[in-house]
Structure 1
Amino acid sequence: MRTLLLMLLCACLNPVFSQTKKKQILVIGTFHFRNPGLDVAKVNTFNVMSDKSQQELESISNSIAKFAPAKIFVEWDYRKQDKLDDLYCKNLDSLMKKDANELVQIALRSAKKLKHPKLYGVDYKETSFPYDSLITQMKIAGQVGLVEEGVTTMKAYESAQNKKMAALSLRELLLDFNTKRSNDFSMQWYFGNASRGGKKDNFAGAFLVSEWYRRNLYMYALVQKLTEVKDDKVMVILGAGHIAMLREFIKFDPEFEIVELKDIL
């Protein structure tokens, strides 16, 4: 009897004993459908406007609608939410026929089916990405091996992705971009190559990595702040490199549990 009373008392006083249902967060890492060539890696553009890809996008967005996230967060400057709201208010049917951007083709398409009032921009742009300065400091430090390793890694990545672009369907590509292997690769260059850049008293590499880390952390902070108590499910669609880092943040956030794209398709 005494043991039972003690267990009941602990359950009442210690929140550890209470089980709180976690919010589900569907994370989708993607490539740029309308590739502007701004990334360091130069990957061929995939035609998402073909009949086959459009059919796949309809199927993907139907699966997202069935999952039913309460909010959809996208890679859009959070300070320009008003412009995102204006875009969302436009004729979406017409927009989807001419704009290949993944924000339009996946996020807007899904939000329309869910009858959401808006999308939520969570990108944070007030960081730098001094890639050229990093390469310069690597050369000054005599880190020729690191420079060559980075070039080799980038070319191998470009070649592999371009082969996939030519061989896989859009659905297959998206599933591939959301594998653990793909996510690990997205992070390896930053921590295995870039952070080493510069002489002992120069932290050009570590600074670049810290800025990339900060951008992703601030994006995740916005997801946390914009997710309300009533939102039991949310969705985040970002470039695959961003999603790779967000996965690490979510791992240590007791409020969320990840839902994989492969599990809803």
Structure 2
Amino acid sequence: MKKLLLLFLFTVSINPVFAQSKKKQILLIGTFHFENPGLDVAQINTFNVMSHKSQKELEDITNKIKRFGPNKIFVEWNYEKQDKLDKFYAKNTDSLFQKNADERVQLALRSAKKLGHKKLFAIDYNQAGFPYDSLVKGMQEANQLDLIKKNKEEMAAYEKSQNQKIAKYSLTELLIDCNTKESNTENVNWYLETANKAGKTDNFVGAYLVSEWYRRNLYMYSLIQKLTENKDDKIMVLLGAGHTAMLREFIKYDPEFEIIELKDVLK
């Protein structure tokens, strides 16, 4: 019996069918919008990524991403418009980096070109709602004065904190800061701590907004799962930091992936 057990354990150790499969590495990069269109609820100042200093940093960052070697790079671009992303990727050359400040260009496209990739992968899902005005109205109708005050204070504190960092930090420091545990927690907290409470007991406008945010990110994660092939052992995902904070929660319970931190890639 003991010999049979030892033989089984030996077989497990060498047989890939029995052995635990190696996790795929996912470089998850949460970022602020380099070209801030002012569409987010929080109004954050624009950081100049076109400066000589920032361009040198971007070259260094993308060289280190190349060294990490992701097989695919996923970006915040409407998944239904993959054909437009393909055309955009195919026609653009190095000169674009001096003209377009968008993070998808400066970080994702620049990295993909250095890696010799044929395309970027679009994973954004744009059909989820974000009824912020209805959320505030729901608080007012429910006379949730403390919650209204808390929401305003949180938003003001977040804007102040981010704008102070933009004035003080280098681009590399800003990107690393976007991916800290503190920043990720802050990005998720508002949804459950504030937004989810909004409305009267028979009005779930807050919970609806939160559920739509979860849905958008869950659909995006679904696309990552579907588009990652067996042969892909490393991938990179570049999204707004609010999205990556949510994806971290999904990946935590998905045994297929392990997160590689940006700060470790940049060492």
Q: When the two structures are superposed, what TM-score results if normalisation uses the length of structure 2? A: 0.95
1:101 match = 102
Distance 1:186 1:66 in 2: 29
Q: Please state how far the C-alpha of 1:5 moved relative to its aligned partner.
A: 1.2
Q: Please state how far the C-alpha of 1:7 moved relative to its aligned partner.
A: 5.4
Q: Please state how far the C-alpha of 1:4 moved relative to its aligned partner.
A: 3.9
Distance 1:37 1:3 in 2: 68
Q: Please state how far the C-alpha of 1:17 moved relative to its aligned partner.
A: 5.8
Distance 1:264 1:229 in 2: 23
2:2 match = 3
Q: Report the AA paired with residue 6 of structure 1.
A: L
Q: How does 1:45-84 map to 2 (within 5 A)?
A: 45-84=46-85
| Residue 166 of structure 1 pairs with residue 130 of structure 2 | no
Provide, for residues 67-111 of structure 1, a one-character-per-residue CA deviation record: whole Å limited to 9, x for no partner: 000000000000000010111012321211110000000000000
Distance 1:214 1:204 in 2: 15
Distance 2:2 2:18 in 1: 16
1:184 match = 185
Distance 1:209 1:120 in 2: 26
Distance 2:216 2:92 in 1: 32
Contact 1:92/1:108 (8 A) holds in 2: no
Q: Report the AA paired with residue 146 of structure 1.
A: L
Between Structure 1 and Structure 2, how many residues are aligned? 263
1:202 match = 203
Distance 2:180 2:258 in 1: 17
Distance 1:19 1:82 in 2: 37
Distance 2:30 2:242 in 1: 7
Provide, for residues 97-145 of structure 1, a one-character-per-residue CA deviation record: whole Å limited to 9, x for no partner: 1100000000000000001000000000111000000100111011111
Q: Report the AA paired with residue 214 of structure 1.
A: R
Provide, for residues 144-186 of structure 1, a one-character-per-residue CA deviation record: whole Å limited to 9, x for no partner: 1111111100100000100000000000000000000000000
1:150 match = 151
1:132 match = 133
Secondary structure of 1:164's aligned partner: helix
Q: Report the AA paired with residue 141 of structure 2.
A: I
Structure 1 stretches (4+) deviating beyond 4 angstroms? 7-12
Q: Percent identity?
A: 65
Provide, for residues 191-232 of structure 1, a one-character-per-residue CA deviation record: whole Å limited to 9, x for no partner: 000000111111000000000000000000000000000000
Contact 1:85/1:118 (8 A) holds in 2: yes
Distance 2:136 2:3 in 1: 65
Alignment gaps of 5+ in structure 2: none
Q: Report the AA paired with residue 36 of structure 1.
A: P
Distance 2:89 2:74 in 1: 13
Q: Please state how far the C-alpha of 1:16 moved relative to its aligned partner.
A: 10
Distance 1:198 1:189 in 2: 15
1:110 match = 111
Q: Please state how far the C-alpha of 1:259 moved relative to its aligned partner.
A: 0.2
Q: Please state how far the C-alpha of 1:6 moved relative to its aligned partner.
A: 3.2
Secondary structure of 1:106's aligned partner: helix
Q: Report the AA paired with residue 234 of structure 2.
A: K
Distance 2:124 2:36 in 1: 18
Q: When the two structures are superposed, what TM-score results if normalisation uses the length of structure 1? A: 0.96
